[in-house]
Amino acid sequence: MLIALILSSGFSCLAQYRPAVAGLKTGDSLVGIIGDVQRKVFKYKTQSNGKSIKLDFEKLNYVKIMFDSDDIRTYRFFRLEDDKDYKAFQQLAKGKNAELYGVTRVVRSSGFAGPAMDMNAIQYYIKKPTEKNLTLLGLYDPLINNLKNKVLAYFADCKELIQKIENKDFRMRNGLTPMVEFYNSNCNSSQL
């Protein structure tokens, strides 16, 4: 039993490391590594049995991690307006007019007369090229957060997108990625 516990804990530690590429602010790249974006650092190894190296987010431009052949996630690192530390944000959509980022949060839902459930929800952030900081749009939660009004206000410079949101061609519950992709493809950057 003890051997099984030791083996499983050893495999779970290794399982968090996945094939990765990191772009440093110096212009250098780290390739052929395995790594994991953790709470405050990117932790990586050059070999599966090598020693872990920690790299502060402030030294990174991006990290790409391969979860499987169809799931490669890009993380970028920003300091929010009131924070002194950099945080990792998954890039959900990029383009010439806007970039969408997300942080997955665990939200506890307490059902009426039922057990509480934990669900993953994305907290959305957005940035236009002219903006220095990310803008928090929030979580999709129709009871607590007014995400739709925040999205409408943020994209007020694109009448076509506003009309599609109001006509329910785009719905908040389906995520913001299609809206940002539409904005990047169909909204004239001279309007911005």
Tens-place pLDDT, residues 129-172: 999 889 999 988 766 668 999 999 999 999 999 999 999 999 99
Of 38, 192, 55, nearest in space to 128 by CA: 192
Read off the pTM.
0.81
Residue 3, pLDDT > 50, answer no
Which of 8-17, 54-63, 106-115 has maximum average pLDDT? 54-63
Task: Mention every residue, 6+ apart, whose C-beta is less than 8 A from residue 43.
Answer: 17, 35, 36, 52, 53, 54, 55
Q: Kindly write down the DSSP assignment for every residue of 145-190, as one continuous string.
A: --HHHHHHHHTTT-HHHHHHHHTTSS-GGG-SHHHHHHHHHHS-GG
Q: Are 88 and 37 in contact (CB under 8 A)?
A: yes
The domains of the chain are located at 1-79, 81-192
For residue 53, the 8-state DSSP code is E
The span from the CA of 34 to the CA of 80, in Å, is 27
What's the burial of 102, exposed, middle or buried (CB within 10 Å: 0-12/13-18/19+)? buried
What is the average per-residue pLDDT within 172-182?
95
Task: Mention every residue, 6+ apart, whose C-beta is less than 8 A from residue 85.
Answer: 40, 57, 79
Q: What's the pLDDT score for residue 142?
A: 67
| Side chain identity, residue 42 | F
Cα distances from 179 to residues 35, 92, 123, 148, 164, in angstroms, run 31, 11, 15, 11, 9
Q: pLDDT (tens digit, 9 = 90+) per residue, 65-82?
A: 999 999 999 999 999 888
Please, what is the average pLDDT of the chain? Answer: 85
